[in-house]
Structures are given as structure tokens and as C-alpha cells.
């Protein structure tokens, strides 16, 4: 429904204007947001009465779009329409701080149409998904092409505990401070979480406390269906691969060609668009199937896939350990075609990485076609384009490519888009969301997954390389508890109470863990960006502990180090951090990549190991050596490296904390995500399908049948 067909949509209700026939009496009804002086009606009806004092009959009429000026739009001096002024949403802070879902459900939601209007997004550039979320069409980039980019900031962290150190909370908190308290035009850009961790151990990923993206239930669950689209596309590719192998085994070249290019009733046959792409790859410059020679028909039709060269599994967005390794092809019609396969979690799919790294629809179409799904019996790559499925995958992904517009608790705008794993993938939200945000806001704050040795390094070396966007500042989130862990504190286990060493003041333990923070700051500075450290404060932190962290950060080269209390105070608690970010953005920076793509595969791996992890060297298994030889042969050697490693240590061993020295990095295997555009060396064992614990989060998740509200999410 077009919102303007019934008036202006305010706080989920339509503002209607009723006009009395003949008497021209007008009644206006509106429900206001806090601080909306222009429409302080508070939902009551104001009626113009007749001369005899009686309310006149009312009749609803339509309101044209220009009426939106009545709720804050203005006309600038040059006659061009200005956007609606930003109106922050007031928080009602409570102590003790309630659960995340309680806070989220108490939050006042502005209609997404208002969020868009405050940004300057036209209604025609939106696809609404209910009143509080929408997709933004890519055509907006054409309209805003000449507008300069805003400042680009990445939020990362020190090596975390299994609990996480609050990157998303900090990202949201500093955005709320910039927009709702300092009056800056700001956008948050973060990843969409997988439902696996949401129902597993970690819970949701909308932030926490008074720094969240809302509605948090939508954010953490289906949102607008992007992850489901990826699941469908990925599994269609898997089905196409197995079916192609089956049919090739049952038909000779001529029958196979005729089946792929059937004749119509007139005896005519043609190549589909994806087939023309395959012909071009094979160097066959013909567009009429009847003109191909028998040899060309054979080359075109028979992929000759090596059963041992299959590199494409299936995906599902659930933590299901029993699907990690499976046997497929057990039906009677597939007798003799049984083979091992397995499931990964959807966010580990290469299609998810493509969604995050693509720059437009045409680029996504090309990337999907380049995905390597297997090798043939000659050792050559077989792609999704070769299977003829790339066009269909693009159709399944055509809506998922559009970023999702949401809001924070304080009414600042947020894009939520893409959610690749930060170990086997690059762990960052989408390039497209960043590009649109940089045209709409003066400050764009995004987040990279896990610690800075994982997400930040990939943000710079992979994401920024493809986006050509230049970041100015990195915010490194540090916590006292994580630094104590790196100083030798007891093991931190999710779901179990912290040991006294973490809740009592212990300056000695904290001091021993500070080298971890120092190394992350030094690493960030190697990319030529300015560094601000955010000390994410917890109630048990003492002033002496916090000051020790601040001083260590400044000595390591951070431009500033600021204590932030955004979890308990929202944007108000992050004002000092936001001011430090603004100052850092104003200082000169000189962004650069860590390595040149023309270096060899080994040289790129060893540069990351030496400069980021501080390893003494790298050791390669025979399998990894064979992959390097294969990828050199296939021309994949110029791709960037996406190091697949644990996020809990600078090394490949999650148990080694702090800032270790004197170790070597083992490369067990190297795999290719050619469509996404990177190779990923495996450092030790990497699981791409998590499992559920004894007591998963889903025990607490339910529906209040009286109110219809979700309970138990966090």
C-alpha cells in the first residue's frame, strides 16, 4: 500500500485529514514522536466546530506527497526540497539494565519512511517490509553519484574472549552518540546474524543494552529473507552439480548436446544466455547450435567432472553437527552415484561472501558465474557458469543484493546487510551498503568480525581492495576482562560465571595482557589509518584498571583512548568516544594495503603471518603445496588471501593467548572462493558447521501468546 494514499504514516499509524463537505472544517489526527514540535498533538483529535458549537461530520480525503513538509520538511533558499530534519528517539534508561529484548521491545520505533526521509531517501527508492524495515534500491547510487563520500570508520577489537567484547554494541553506541547527541549525519552498517548462533550459544547480534538495532527480533531472525535466498541459491547449485554428473554418465555426447539444446516444434534450437557465456570461455565464437562441429559439441556439453574434485557442499542456517558429513545418492534411481558430501552453515557459503563483496548487479552475476564448484578429470576448474545455473542464482539473489534499512534505539539509521563468517570468509557487511551509506551520511561506521587480526585485516586487504573505498579511522574495542585473560587469567567459558580474577581489581594480571592490545594497535597503524581505542566499560572495572588500559593504548600509538558506557547509557555514554572519532577523522591519514596482489601465494600468506600475527615462519603440508601448484596453473594466484584461523589467538592455536612470539603458522590446506575473489588458507582445523551445546539458547526463546511478543532472545 502506498503510504501517501491514506496520508502521512507516523509511528505506524496513518495521519488522516478529514474535510467536512460544504463547511470546509478540517480535523487533523497525528501521533507524535518526542521533540516533534511541529506536530505535538499527542494523538488527540482537534476538530473545527461549526458556529453553533457542534462538531461537524467528517470525511476522509487523500493527502498529496508535499504534505510531508507538515511534519518537518523544509524548502531551502534555492527552492530545492530539503530532507526532514533528524529527530532522535529518547531513551528511558533503567537501573539495573534490563535484558536486551526488554529494552528493544520498550524502544520507540520510528516508521522506516521517516528514517528514509531524514536521510534523503525517496519513497520510490524503497521496498517496504512492514512499517519498520525496508530494502533500498541500488538505483539510489545513480542519483547520488556526484555527492562526496562521508568519513569511513571501521570498528574492530582486541583478541576476544568467547563472550565477545562488544564490537556491535560499540558500533551502535558511537553512532547513537554522533547522531542523537552531537547532531552529526551518521549511519551504522553491520552484518546480519546467522540463526545458527542465535539459537545456539552466542545469541543475537543486534548489539546490547541501550545500544541496539531494532526491531531486534526481526534483526536476529528472518529480517527480509536474504539468508534464505542464499540458502536456496547455494543448494540449487549443489543440485545442479549432482544432476549434471548423473546425466552425463547416462548419455553419449550427441544425446547430451541435444538434451541441452532441444529443438522446438519448428526444428529450431538455440543457446541460452548462460550457454553463450560458456561458449565464449571455450573460445567457440558461434551462436547457432547447428553450426558446432562434433568436437565443439562434445567440449561444450560434457563437463567430465571428477567425483573426487567436487568442491561444493550444501548449506542450512542452523547449527546441525550431524550434517557435517553425509552420504548422498542413496535412492534407487541414483544407484551407483553415491558420494560423500556435507552441510555448512549458510553464512559460510561463498554466495554470502559474494553478496558482501559485490559492487552491483552485473558484478554479482559475473561473480556467481565464476564460482568453482569442482574440477574435471583434466584438473580444470568447473564453474557455476559451466553448469548453466549462474543466471538462475542471480535471479534468486536479485532482491538480497539490496541493503536493509533499520534503526537504532535512539532513532539513528542503520543498514543491515550480508553476514559472512569472519574465519573462512572475510567477516564484513556489504560493500553496497557502505557505498550507499557514504553518500547519505557524513560518518559511516561499520564493523569487522572477530579480532583485528581477522576481520580488520580482511576489511583492509580484501573489502577495501574491491570497494576502492578509503577508511580514515579504526576503533579498537578493548575490555579489562579480555586483557586479564591474555595476561594469564582463568579460562572464560560462555554461559558460566566469570572467575574472581575478572571481577576484582588485579592490575598485575591486566598489565601482563596489555601486549595484545599493543599489537593490534600497531597492526592497524601499518595500514596508515588513525586509531582510537574504546574501552568498553563493565560495572566491575575499577578506575585504576581503566586508566591503565588508556595509558597503554596511547603509548602504543592510538590517537586517543576513551572509556565508553554505551551499554548502560546508550549514546550519552559514548559521547566522548564519538568526539574522539570525529577528531581522528579530521587528522591526516595515508591508507595503504599490506601486500601487493602480484606477490606469489606464499609471499602473501607469509606477509600476513609475519606482519599481523608476528610468526617466525609458515609451514605447508603436501596438500597445501599441491593446491598452490594447482591455483598457479589455474590463474588464481593473483587473488588476495583470506586467512581461515581461530579468532581466539594470534596463532592457529586458540589456547595461546596474549601476544606470543617464537611460533610458526601451519597451512593445512588452501581453498578457492574465486567468485568471491579470494583464496583461503586453512590454519589448523576449521569447522564450517557449528554444533549445538547441551543447553542451547533456544530453551529460552518462546512466544507470549497473549501479546504476540517474542521472549527469551538476547
- Active-site residue, from 110, 184, 202, 512: 202
Whole-angstrom distance, CA of residue 633 vs CA of residue 13: 61
3-state helix, strand, coil in the chain (%, to 5): 40, 20, 45
Name the average pLDDT for the chain. Answer: 89
Q: Are 424 and 680 in contact (CB under 8 A)?
A: yes
Q: Are 214 and 107 in contact (CB under 8 A)?
A: yes
The CATH code of the domain at 141-194+410-586 is 3.40.50.300
Q: What is the pLDDT of residue 339?
A: 92
Q: 23 pLDDT band (50/70/90 cuts)?
A: very low
Residue 414, classified by CB atoms within 10 Å of its CB into exposed (0-12), middle (13-18) or buried (19+), is buried
CB burial of residue 308 (10 Å; 0-12, 13-18, 19+): exposed
**pLDDT tens digits, residue range 386-415?**
999 999 999 999 999 999 999 999 999 999
When pLDDT is cut at 50, 70 and 90, the band that residue 686 belongs to is confident
Which residues lie below 8 Å from residue 495, measured CB to CB, with a gap of 6+?
Answer: 201, 693, 695
Lookup result for grid cell 564460482? 371
Does residue 585 have a pLDDT over 70?
A: yes
C-alpha cell of 489? Answer: 587469567
Contacts of 611 (CB under 8 A, 6+ apart): 523, 526, 594
CA dist., res. 384 & res. 397, Å (int)? 14
When pLDDT is averaged across residues 115-134 and rounded to a whole number, the result is: 97
Catalytic site residue 167? yes
Asked if residue 352 lies in contact with residue 449, where contact means CB atoms within 8 angstroms, the answer is: no
Annotated catalytic residue, options 450, 460, 650, 678: 450
What is residue 59's predicted lDDT score, i.e. its pLDDT? Answer: 43
Alpha helices, DSSP H, located in 75-123? 100-106, 112-119
Buried b (16+ CB within 10 A) or exposed e, 425-456: bbbbbbbbbbbbbbbbbbbbbbbbbbbbbbbb
Catalytic residue list contains 468: no
Confidence of residue 83 (pLDDT cuts 50, 70, 90): low
Active-site residue among 353, 356, 422, 644? 422
Q: Residue 579 has what pLDDT? A: 98
In 3D space, the residue among 446, 356, 428, 357 whose CA is nearest the CA of residue 151 turns out to be 446
Q: What is the pLDDT of residues 294-344, one digit of tens each?
A: 999 999 999 999 999 999 999 999 999 999 999 999 999 998 999 999 999
Listing DSSP states for 348-360 in one string gives: GSHHHHHHHH--S
In this predicted structure, the answer to whether residue 63 has a pLDDT above a threshold of 60 is: no
pTM: 0.88
Query: What percentage of residues in the chain have a pLDDT greater than 90?
Result: 81
pLDDT at 494: 78
**pLDDT at residue 15 in the model:** 34
Evaluate if residue 40 carries a pLDDT over 70. no
- Residue 32 pLDDT exceeds 60: no
Whether the CB-CB separation of 667 and 618 falls below 8 Å is answered with: yes
Percentage of residues in the chain having pLDDT higher than 70 = 88
Backbone angles phi, psi at 565, to 5 degrees: -120, 40
Beta carbons of 192 and 416 less than 8 angstroms apart: yes
Is 18:27 a contact under the CB 8 Å cutoff? yes
Q: Is 621 annotated in the active site?
A: no
Q: Which of 89-98, 195-204, 239-248 has the lowest mean pLDDT?
A: 195-204
Averaged pLDDT for residues 454-483: 98
Residue 334, pLDDT score: 92
Place of cell 564450517: 688
422 is catalytic: yes
pLDDT of residue 685: 83
The span from the CA of 624 to the CA of 622, in Å, is 5
Cα–Cα–Cα angle for 667, 378, 312, rounded to 5 degrees: 55
Distance CA 292, CA 296 (A): 6
CATH node for 227-397: 3.30.1510.10
Q: Of 135, 167, 484, 512, which residue is the catalytic one?
A: 167
Active site residue 567: yes
Among 17-31, 131-145, 431-445, 664-678, whose mean pLDDT is lowest? 17-31
- C-alpha closest to that of 132 among 219, 198, 39, 59: 219
* Displacement of CA 541 from its chain's centroid (Å): 31
Residues ≥6 apart with Cβ < 8 Å to 83 = 73, 117, 118, 119, 120
Using CA atoms in the order 417, 439, 395, 257, what is the torsion angle rounded to 10 degrees? -120
User: 3.40.190.10, 3.10.410.10, 1.20.140.10, 3.40.50.10490: which CATH number matches 601-682?
Assistant: 3.10.410.10
Q: Where are the domains of the chain?
A: 3-71, 141-194+410-586, 227-397, 601-682
For the residues of 381-405, what is the DSSP string, one character each? EEEHHHHT-HHHHHHHHTTTTSPEE
Q: What is the mean pLDDT of residues 85-112?
A: 95
CA nearest to 541, candidates 474, 490, 478? 478
Radius of gyration over alpha carbons of the chain, in Å? Answer: 28
- Catalytic position from the list 191, 370, 484, 512: 191
Q: Which of 90, 525, 538, 583 is catalytic?
A: 538
Half-sphere exposure of 598 (CA within 13 A, CB side): 0
Judge whether 450 counts as a catalytic residue.
yes
How many Cβ atoms are within 10 Å of 591's Cβ, its own excluded?
A: 14
Helix (H) or strand (E) holding 29: strand 26-29
**Active-site residue flag, 550:** no
**Residue 69: pLDDT over 60:** no
62-76, 443-457, 465-479: which range is least confident on average?
Answer: 62-76
Pairing of strands 343-345, 314-316: parallel
Q: How far is CA 681 from CA 135, 453, 646, in A?
A: 35, 15, 12
User: What one-character DSSP code corresponds to residue 12?
Assistant: T
Assign 691 a pLDDT band (cuts: 50, 70, 90).
Answer: very high
The Cα 261–Cα 283 span in angstroms is 19
Q: Quick one: pLDDT at residue 306?
A: 96
Q: Is the CB of residue 704 less than 8 Å from the CB of residue 711?
A: yes
Amino acid at each position: 500500500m502506498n503510504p501517501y494514499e491514506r496520508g502521512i504514516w507516523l509511528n505506524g499509524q496513518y495521519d488522516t485529514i478529514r474535510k467536512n463537505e460544504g463547511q470546509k472544517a478540517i480535523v487533523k489526527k497525528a501521533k507524535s514522536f518526542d521533540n516533534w514540535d511541529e506536530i505535538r498533538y499527542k494523538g488527540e483529535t482537534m476538530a473545527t466546530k461549526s458556529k453553533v458549537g457542534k462538531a461537524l461530520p467528517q470525511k476522509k480525503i487523500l493527502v498529496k506527497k508535499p504534505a510531508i513538509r507538515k511534519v518537518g520538511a523544509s524548502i531551502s533558499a534555492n527552492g530545492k526540497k530539503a530532507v526532514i530534519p533528524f529527530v532522535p528517539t529518547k531513551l528511558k534508561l533503567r537501573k539495573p539494565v534490563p535484558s536486551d529484548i526488554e529494552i528493544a521491545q520498550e524502544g520507540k520505533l520510528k516508521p522506516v519512511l521517516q528514517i528514509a526521509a531524514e536521510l534523503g531517501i525517496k519513497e520510490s527508492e524503497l521496498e517496504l517490509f512492514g512499517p519498520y524495515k525496508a530494502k533500498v534500491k541500488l538505483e539510489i547510487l545513480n542519483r547520488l553519484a556526484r555527492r562526496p563520500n562521508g568519513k569511513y570508520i571501521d570498528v574492530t577489537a582486541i583478541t576476544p574472549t568467547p563472550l565477545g567484547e562488544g564490537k556491535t554494541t560499540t558500533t551502535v553506541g558511537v553512532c547513537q552518540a554522533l547522531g542523537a547527541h552531537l547532531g552529526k549525519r551518521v549511519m551504522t552498517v553491520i552484518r546480519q546474524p546467522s540463526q545458527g548462533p542465535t539459537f545456539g550459544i552466542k545469541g543475537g547480534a543486534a548489539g546490547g543494552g541501550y545500544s541496539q538495532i531494532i526491531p531486534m527480533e526481526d534483526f536476529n531472525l528472518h529480517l527480509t529473507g536474504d539468508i534464505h535466498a542464499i540458502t536456496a541459491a547455494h543448494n540449487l547449485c549443489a543440485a545442479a552439480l549432482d544432476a549434471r554428473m548423473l546425466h552425463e554418465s547416462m548419455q553419449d555426447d550427441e544425446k547430451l548436446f541435444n538434451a541441452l539444446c532441444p529443438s522446438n516444434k519448428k526444428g529450431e534450437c538455440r543457446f541460452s544466455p548462460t550457454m553463450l557465456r560458456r561458449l565464449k570461455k571455450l573460445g567457440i565464437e558461434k551462436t547457432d547450435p547447428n553450426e558446432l562441429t562434433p568436437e565443439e559439441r562434445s567440449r561444450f556439453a560434457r563437463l567430465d567432472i571428477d567425483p573426487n574434485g567436487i568442491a561444493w557442499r550444501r548449506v542450512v542456517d542452523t547449527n546441525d553437527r550431524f550434517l557435517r558429513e553425509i552420504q548422498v545418492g542413496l535412492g534407487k534411481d541414483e544407484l551407483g552415484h553415491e558420494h560423500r558430501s556435507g552441510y555448512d552453515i549458510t553464512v559460510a557459503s561463498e554466495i554470502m561472501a559474494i553478496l558482501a563483496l559485490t559492487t552491483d548487479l552485473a558484478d554479482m552475476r559475473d561473480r556467481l558465474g565464476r564460482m568453482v564448484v569442482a574440477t574435471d578429470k583434466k584438473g580444470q576448474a568447473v564453474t557455476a557458469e559451466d553448469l548453466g545455473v549462474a543466471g538462475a542464482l542471480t535471479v534468486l539473489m536479485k532482491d538480497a543484493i539490496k541493503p536493509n534499512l533499520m534503526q537504532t534505539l535512539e532513532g539513528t539509521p542503520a543498514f543491515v546487510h550480508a553476514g559472512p563468517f569472519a574465519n573462512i570468509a572475510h567477516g564484513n557487511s556489504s560493500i553496497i551498503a557502505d557505498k550507499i551509506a557514504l553518500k547519505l551520511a557524513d560518518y559511516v561506521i561499520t564493523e569487522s568480525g572477530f579480532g583485528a587480526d581477522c576481520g580488520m585485516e580482511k576489511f583492509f586487504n580484501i573489502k577495501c581492495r574491491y570497494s576502492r573505498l578509503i577508511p580514515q579511522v579504526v576503533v579498537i574495542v578493548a575490555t579489562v576482562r579480555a586483557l586479564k585473560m591474555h595476561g594469564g587469567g582463568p579460562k572464560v567459558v560462555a554461559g558460566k560465571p566469570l572467575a574472581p580474577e575478572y571481577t576484582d581489581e588485579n592490575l598485575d594480571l591486566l598489565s601482563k595482557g596489555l601486549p595484545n592490545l599493543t599489537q593490534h594497535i600497531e597492526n592497524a597503524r601499518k595500514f596508515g589509518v588513525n586509531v582510537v581505542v574504546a574501552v568498553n566499560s563493565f560495572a566491575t572495572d575499577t578506575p585504576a584498571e581503566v586508566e591503565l588500559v588508556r595509558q597503554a593504548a596511547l603509548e602504543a600509538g592510538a590517537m586517543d583512548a576513551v572509556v565508553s558506557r554505551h551499554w548502560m547509557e546508550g549514546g550519552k555514554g559514548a559521547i566522548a568516544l564519538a568526539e574522539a572519532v570525529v577528531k581522528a577523522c579530521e587528522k591526516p591519514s595515508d591508507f595503504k594495503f599490506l601486500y601487493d596482489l602480484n606477490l606469489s601465494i606464499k609471499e602473501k600468506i607469509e606477509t600476513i603471518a609475519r606482519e599481523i600475527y608476528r610468526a617466525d615462519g609458515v609451514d605447508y603440508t603436501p596438500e597445501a603445496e599441491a593446491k598452490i601448484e594447482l591455483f598457479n596453473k589455474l590463474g588464481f594466484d593473483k587473488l588476495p588471501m583470506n586467512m581461515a584461523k581461530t579468532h581466539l589467538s594470534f596463532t592457529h592455536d586458540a589456547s595461546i593467548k596474549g601476544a606470543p612470539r617464537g611460533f610458526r603458522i601451519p597451512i593445512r590446506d588452501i581453498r578457492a572462493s574465486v567468485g568471491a575473489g579470494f583464496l583461503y588458507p586453512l590454519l589448523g582445523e576449521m569447522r564450517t558447521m557449528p554444533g549445538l551445546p547441551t543447553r542451547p539458547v533456544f530453551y529460552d526463546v518462546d512466544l507470549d501468546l497473549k501479546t504476540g511478543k517474542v521472549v527469551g532472545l538476547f
